[in-house]
Chains A and B, each alone.
Chain A
Amino acid sequence: MPDTPATAAPALQHRHLLGLATYSADEIQRILQTAREFREVLERPIKRVPTLRGVTVCNLFFEPSTRTKLSFSLAEKRLSADVVNFSASGSSVSKGETLKDTAQNIEAMKVDLCVIRHKSPGAAHFLTRCINGVVINAGDGAHEHPTQALLDMLTMRDHFDTFEGLNVSIIGDITHSRVARSNVFGLKALGANVTLCGPSTLLPVEAAHLGVRVTHRLDEALEGCDVAMALRLQLERQSSGLFPSVREYHEQFGITRRHLAQHPDLLIMHPGPVNRGVELASDVVDHERSIILSQVTNGVAVRMAVLYLLAAAPAGAAA
């Protein structure tokens, strides 16, 4: 490598990662390729590189999260960034502070990059208008969860050479799923065929306009399918009458060993946490064709790649 690399690729076209709806196939591929190299760091005895030394990252979690928050914190630490954590509980948010005031206060502490999880769709976008730092969306309501979709795509990429013509079925509560939306945008950009499947109460009417196939029958969704991604059924939705019972949901939309036997090449994914015996039968979760734990490992690598590619140049740096 020469001291001045002639191969310096341009940074991503976007300054923030708010969603995959506007990301091009090239940008997504760049993130996935970079993530594959960062994944190697996670295999080393010393799982830390000094890449983001001096960069301060704030994790703003206004909504409970375990794995996404852990995964981002780990990615930030592996890159040697300075990390500030903020969660809504026990903060001034409970005293009535607005998102804008919270964000501006945090920015006044010279934070370069904010990772935000919020219950309101568009919160990440709103944040970009309040602060100068780079914003990464870690889930905003039922809108988008781009890093989850990127780690899903990285996991698929490990098993298939191309996304062109890959058949992916997303099964479950599509209406309330930011994971499904981000995956639809990303997978479509890369040329995959996406099928959305679920009870009609949990499938948005707009789904037909996303350029995907829509079905209410699991058998139809699994026919010719390469990857089935089951979504977490949010059990609190049962009380709102969107589906009659957990048992009936499992009967109709739960993936079982029978489905694995019928489709010998089918891979199973799930963004977690899994309700065993609901969207996936317990022995499907532990099956060798379930790649749920690779998704978790890939989550750290993908977030390292996103942080690396978006880490802000300080004001006044060379263009």
Chain B
Amino acid sequence: MPMEPTDHVKAHLMTAADLQRVLDRMARQVAEFVDPSADATATFGLVGLQTRGVHLARRLQQRLHDDDGLAVPLGILDATMYRDDVRLRRTRPEVKPTDIPFDVTGRHLVLVDDVLYTGRTGRSALDALMDMGRPASVRMLVMIDRGLRELPIAPDIVGREVPTLPGEEVRVRLREEDAREGVWLVATDGTGARAG
């Protein structure tokens, strides 16, 4: 049942069906950003953040194709090399592939991630994108905004806002990566039973 050995589940935030409905809605919001007079393939792009942001971005890409007839290219970004805490950790986050198969310069991008928390990953991702060129614009889409920001990073499209406490984690689980699908709020510091 637990997603990580120390997890104590406090709430089942979204079911698989909820995720599908929210993705449908977010795809509509992304489509609104696409200039109907321009060629989306050449002027627009989705960038999924490793790991689960990539799967969400891929699902959005599919919806944009099926529902709007938009062929929007998809890039994969791992911002690990741009993190600001390499010297603060004993563990080394695994560096995963980055593959942006288009020139970001002049393009309108939507950065896709599963959870927005401190904003540090978003900051790393922006720096990584800026090193690759000069996008016309970058917007941010997240499934869950759990608050507790440490940097002035704001999402443009949000699946659901979930106010959380430090010591809690939001687990987005997707069938491409995980044994099940849905979103859970868990406690990882042993305070879950009391705080919940």
- Chain A residues near B (Cβ < 8 Å): 1-11, 33-34, 37-38, 40-41, 44-46, 48-52, 54-55, 79, 305, 308-309, 311-314, 317-319
Closest partner residue, chain B, to A47 (CB atom): B131
What are 6 A-B pairs with beta-carbon distances under 8 A? A4-B169, A40-B97, A41-B81, A313-B88, A314-B87, A318-B90
Closest partner residue, chain A, to B170 (CB atom): A2
- Chain B residues near A (Cβ < 8 Å): 4, 49-53, 78-83, 86-99, 113-121, 127-128, 131-133, 169-170, 172
Which of chain A's residues have a CB closer than 8 A to the CB of B98?
37, 40
> What is the distance, in angstroms, from A264's C-beta to the closest C-beta of chain B?
32
| Complex contact B90–A319 (CB within 8 A) | yes
Which of chain B's residues have a CB closer than 8 A to the CB of A305?
95
Q: A54 and B87 in contact (CB under 8 A), knowing A2-B117, A6-B4, A37-B78?
A: yes
13 more contacts with CB within 8 A, not counting A1-B114, A311-B86, are: A2-B114, A2-B115, A2-B121, A3-B117, A4-B169, A5-B93, A8-B93, A11-B92, A37-B95, A37-B98, A55-B87, A308-B92, A317-B89
Which of chain A's residues have a CB closer than 8 A to the CB of B49?
1
Q: Considering the complex of A and B, which 8 residue pairs feature the smallest CB-CB distances, nearest first?
A: A3-B117, A49-B81, A37-B95, A8-B91, A51-B81, A2-B115, A46-B131, A8-B93
| Complex contact B91–A10 (CB within 8 A) | yes
Which of chain B's residues have a CB closer than 8 A to the CB of A51?
80-83, 86
CA–CA, A49 and B83, complex, Å? 10
Closest partner residue, chain A, to B95 (CB atom): A37
| Complex contact B120–A3 (CB within 8 A) | yes
Which of chain A's residues have a CB closer than 8 A to the CB of B96?
37
CA–CA, A33 and B97, complex, Å? 10
> What is the distance, in angstroms, from B133's C-beta to the closest C-beta of chain A?
8
> What is the distance, in angstroms, from B88's C-beta to the closest C-beta of chain A?
5
> What is the distance, in angstroms, from B78's C-beta to the closest C-beta of chain A?
7
Which of chain A's residues have a CB closer than 8 A to the CB of B116?
3
| Complex contact B78–A1 (CB within 8 A) | yes
